[in-house]
């Protein structure tokens, strides 16, 4: 097999997708996920320190990102522990969502 045959075979197996590009996108998304979480947590701490109140919406967003990540991981790998972790994140997302709604309605500070 020459280089051209190997390239054609690889492109056919990958359905025309650029594997290096996909890996770069995944790596970027993974790092962006952590940067987003760190920034949201930082905003929550600053808001708590300056305004003396909790930012329930930001905390809900952090748990929602974790829920999404583990749900997709479960749907891809079908491992029960991934589903368990996704469900925990899902319940925590709902809890913080309820707290955020109550905060927006003025029921809690």
Q: Is the pTM of this model over 0.75?
A: no
Which segment of 21-25, 51-55, 68-72, 83-87 scores lowest on mean pLDDT? 21-25
In this predicted model, what pLDDT tens digit does every residue of 10-19 receive, in sequence order? 767 766 667 7
61-84: pLDDT as tens digits: 999 999 999 999 999 999 999 999
Q: What does the alpha-carbon distance between residue 106 and residue 109 come to, in Å, rounded to a whole number?
A: 7
Residue 6: both structure tokens together: 């190997």
State the chain's mean pLDDT as an integer: 88
- C-alpha torsion 21→23→24→27, nearest 10: 160
> How far from 32 is each of 7, 27, 37, 88, 109, CA to CA, in Å?
32, 9, 9, 23, 31
pLDDT at 21: 80
């Amino acid at each position: 097999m020459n280089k051209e045959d190997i390239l054609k075979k690889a492109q056919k197996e990958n359905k025309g997708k650029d594997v290096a590009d996909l890996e770069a996108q995944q790596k970027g998304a993974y790092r962006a996920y952590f940067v987003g979480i760190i920034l949201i947590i930082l905003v929550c701490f600053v808001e708590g320190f300056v305004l003396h109140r909790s930012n329930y919406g930001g905390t809900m967003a952090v748990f929602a990102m974790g829920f999404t990540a583990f749900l997709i991981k479960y749907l891809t790998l079908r491992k029960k522990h991934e589903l368990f972790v996704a469900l925990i994140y899902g319940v925590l997302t709902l809890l913080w969502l309820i707290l955020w709604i109550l905060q927006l309605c003025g029921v809690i500070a």
